[in-house]
Amino acid sequence: MMAFLTRHWELKLLALVFSTALWFFVMTTERADLILSAPVEVEGLPPGLVVTGEMPDSVDVQLHGLRGVLSRLSADQVRARLNLAGARPGELTVKLLPGQVAVPPGITVLRVMPSQFRVVLSAAPRPDPQPPSEGPRS
């Protein structure tokens, strides 16, 4: 029995090293998908306007990349950026495209859900003017 194990031990060791290397290669090059919730950040909002009404705080994003990279990804590394530069007061429908989601290198955004929603922009309330202060009384 012992002779069977020690016979051609060099080839058996080589097979073990080769199979371990192959397993490592498969595990580090395997691609996977992951769905995460990403906060929506509003950029470029014109001065004097505010977002009113319902707007999602976050959207779900489907990500694609190496399994090892996705397993180390944390939710704070993914951000959906909504650019409202040039927007005017009123209701508008905005689209969030995969290119508007910031992710670390090596990760691809496949889909954003919901990718379209309504935003209502209103003029920012103006602060009440301060009454003129009275000077010291004589």
Q: Could you give the CA distance from residue 19 to residue 103 in angstroms, rounded to a whole number? A: 34
CATH architecture of 30-123: Beta Complex (2.170)
Three-class secondary structure of residue 138 per DSSP? coil
Task: Quote the tokens at residue 31.
Answer: 């691609």
Residue 102 near residue 73 (C-beta atoms within 8 A):
no
The pTM of the full predicted model, rounded to 2 decimals, is: 0.66
Report the percent of the chain where pLDDT is more than 90. Answer: 38
**Residue at token pair 């371990």:** 20
Sign of the Cα pseudo-torsion (25, 29, 33, 34, in order):
positive
Report the 10 Å Cβ neighbour count for 96.
Answer: 21
pLDDT single digits (tens) 62-104: 999 988 888 889 888 999 999 988 888 889 888 999 999 999 9
